[in-house]
Structure 1
Amino acid sequence: MQSKEPLVSIIIPCYNQAQFLEETLNSVLAQSYKNWECLIVNDGSTDNSLEICNIFKSKDHRFLLFDIENKGRSNARNIGLDQAKGDWIQFLDSDDVLHKDKILNSLALQKKKSGMIITDFLRFRKTINKPRRAFCDLSKVDFNYENILLQWELKFSIPIHCGLFKKSILNSIRFNTDLNANEDWCFWLEFYKNEFSTEYVNQKLVFYRMNPNGTVVNFDHMEENTKLAKLHIFNNLEDQYKSMFFNRVIKELSKTKHDFKFYKDNIFYRKVFYKIKRLLS
């Protein structure tokens, strides 16, 4: 391909995913679009992930390896962003898989004002040859800041590797390293504070692994970090959105008395209540 075609930086954070990593990296190697670099950030893995990374690095010069001390997925992604030289950013977790035409078909829809190109996805457990339906239908989603704020995980959520992000918009945006879950939600919100057009590719070009050892299945971990994420989001909202987001939280809490009691008795959430009261007074 000619050099005028945009460079795509594929960022893969990796922590102890050796059993899946080769399949993930092979899906990068198989991309029909060839002008890419792949930044693998080995986040202090204690299995043989580093060995696999080095094999792919020696196989193709487009694979770049960064071996760092374990500080979490968000920090690893941020290091990838700091080092990326591409015009577009493709995130990919080390247990997920890209369709071979993911990047090619995404860039085919880019326009002058495009800042985001989103493709649809499928889920799978052991093999992408036996996929399962996604947990939401992205073809019915209006991709904008307000919807991501108020409907995230209620009507839809977007796996991070569905997106192809314009690098210039990401210059001042990074993942929140204080969160261990729902950091993607915060990242999407920060991105959609900017003005750009979103293109949607109505093709299932991403495979999301239902990993029984993944973070998203540790429910206690997710619950606690979801509360922290909501606090972070609320504290960073413009006033016009605070009451709307507050109403969303109240509706969710009203479903379970236990959760409502936690929020009511928690000093941080009491501060949220007081802020809302002042806003509405």
Structure 2
Amino acid sequence: MTKISIIVPVFNVEKMLPHCLDSIKAQTFSDFECLLIDDGSTDNSGILCDEYVAFDPRFKVIHSENQGASAARNLGLDNASGEWIQFIDSDDWIAPDFLQNYFNIGKGYDIVFQGITIEKNGELQELTINSHSGENTIETISRLEQNNVLGWCFNKIFINTFIQKYHIRFPKGITIREDLIFTLSYLQYVSAIGITSKCDYHYVIRDGSLMSRPRSYREVDECCELIFKLRRNLVEVNFNNQYKNWFEEEYVMRKLIQLKYIYYPQTIVSRDERYSFLKSAMGYKPKNIKLPKTDRVIFYLFHSLLPFFIKDRLIKIVALTYYKSHYKK
């Protein structure tokens, strides 16, 4: 059996793809297969995939219709034969020892984390993860979440048998925080977490690579509820009050932030639905978190003594002003 299956979703990245694939070819750890999932590319990305497959038998390509990164990764999981699963984004790259790092810390782990190196505008920032002796699984999960290193799927390696046995897949219909949803779904079955402090995954942030389109209210709400459910399941099995308090506060913050999504043009809800959500949101009172400015204004508006129809109009003005200034037309 191949040791590692690397899954790379590919879509219109012809300029960055060679650097990514060359970095995979240059790995000091060679027992891997690399599954290139061409997600309906309209540039030369698919042709580049075919060229790498022709010259290196470890590379395989699947050409599919465009369905998005989550569907592409799921297609890769359906075809992966390796003992371990590693995800790599096609516009990023990895240092030569990236794969080997996972196996330098010993055996017996159900998942192994690495740090990452963030590249932005020519500057490098290392996000190092350290192991803490005497820390149990839920304490490690809590620490990694609060240090913002749990939410990517590319800085960790997963056991394939876990993924197949419990049919863990990326969510359909959700295009935000899907990496976190996948990781939290996997962590439901984990008892031993390994950590290496290496930062050999290079996460490249380019102009325009961040979220450039607004999501619908229903998608954001579904994502928020699913993440909360997965976190709650974790603490029900292995209780940790500090983690519970943190993610409950994070949940409140997300619910408050998503208020403005109700007023976005692509969200079609009735006034009664908006009223219902505003009334339910009256109970959300964050304790230890600071809301972004726009969301803070909305928060004060719906906690004001104004009639609901006036709150509705004012919040709509604030939300649409934010929408027009933050998203590309």
Please classify the TM superposition score into its range, dividing by the shorter chain length. Answer: 0.7 to 0.9
**1:37 corresponds to:** 33
Letter in 2 for 1:197: A
The alpha-carbon distance between structure 1 residues 155 and 114, as it changes in their structure 2 partners (threshold 3 A), is closer
Does 1:248 find its partner at 2:250?
Answer: yes
Secondary structure of 1:132's aligned partner: strand
User: TM-score of the superposition, structure 1-length normalised?
Assistant: 0.79
The alpha-carbon distance between structure 1 residues 25 and 260, as it changes in their structure 2 partners (threshold 3 A), is closer
Following TM superposition, by how much is the alpha carbon of 1:200 offset from its aligned partner in structure 2, in angstroms?
0.9
Residues 105-157 of structure 1, C-alpha deviations (whole Å, 9 max, x = no match) = 2112241x31111111111147xxx55114x54337879557757974x5313
The alpha-carbon distance between structure 1 residues 108 and 155, as it changes in their structure 2 partners (threshold 3 A), is closer
Tell me if structure 2 keeps the 8 A contact 1:138–1:156. Answer: no
Letter in 2 for 1:207: H
Q: How does 1:77-226 map to 2 (within 5 A)?
A: 77-111=73-107, 113-125=108-120, 130-134=122-126, 136-139=127-130, 144=137, 152=145, 155-158=147-150, 159-171=152-164, 172-214=167-209, 216-218=210-212, 220-221=214-215, 225-226=219-220
**1:234 corresponds to:** 228
Deviates more, 1:83-92 or 1:205-214: 205-214
Secondary structure of 1:89's aligned partner: strand
Tell me the distance in 2 between the aligned counterparts of 1:131 and 1:101: 21
Letter in 2 for 1:228: E
Residues 204-257 of structure 1, C-alpha deviations (whole Å, 9 max, x = no match) = 11000102232x33263499854431122235544949x854443224566x79
The alpha-carbon distance between structure 1 residues 59 and 178, as it changes in their structure 2 partners (threshold 3 A), is same
Letter in 1 for 2:212: N
**1:278 corresponds to:** none
From 16, 22, 28, give the equivalent of 1:20: 16
**1:55 corresponds to:** 51
The alpha-carbon distance between structure 1 residues 226 and 269, as it changes in their structure 2 partners (threshold 3 A), is farther
Tell me if structure 2 keeps the 8 A contact 1:9–1:84. Answer: yes
Tell me the distance in 2 between the aligned counterparts of 1:114 and 1:150: 18
Tell me the distance in 1 between the aligned counterparts of 2:207 and 2:71: 23
- RMSD over aligned Cα atoms: 3.6
Secondary structure of 1:184's aligned partner: helix
The alpha-carbon distance between structure 1 residues 224 and 49, as it changes in their structure 2 partners (threshold 3 A), is farther
Following TM superposition, by how much is the alpha carbon of 1:18 offset from its aligned partner in structure 2, in angstroms?
1.1
Letter in 1 for 2:78: D
The alpha-carbon distance between structure 1 residues 186 and 265, as it changes in their structure 2 partners (threshold 3 A), is farther
Tell me if structure 2 keeps the 8 A contact 1:43–1:68. Answer: yes
Tell me if structure 1 keeps the 8 A contact 2:128–2:199. Answer: no
The alpha-carbon distance between structure 1 residues 106 and 145, as it changes in their structure 2 partners (threshold 3 A), is same
User: TM-score of the superposition, structure 2-length normalised?
Assistant: 0.68
Tell me the distance in 2 between the aligned counterparts of 1:84 and 1:235: 28
Tell me the distance in 1 between the aligned counterparts of 2:258 and 2:224: 18
Tell me the distance in 2 between the aligned counterparts of 1:217 and 1:74: 15
Secondary structure of 2:72's aligned partner: helix
Tell me the distance in 1 between the aligned counterparts of 2:198 and 2:90: 22
Return the index of the structure with the highest Cα Rg: 2
Tell me if structure 1 keeps the 8 A contact 2:217–2:261. Answer: no
Secondary structure of 1:156's aligned partner: coil
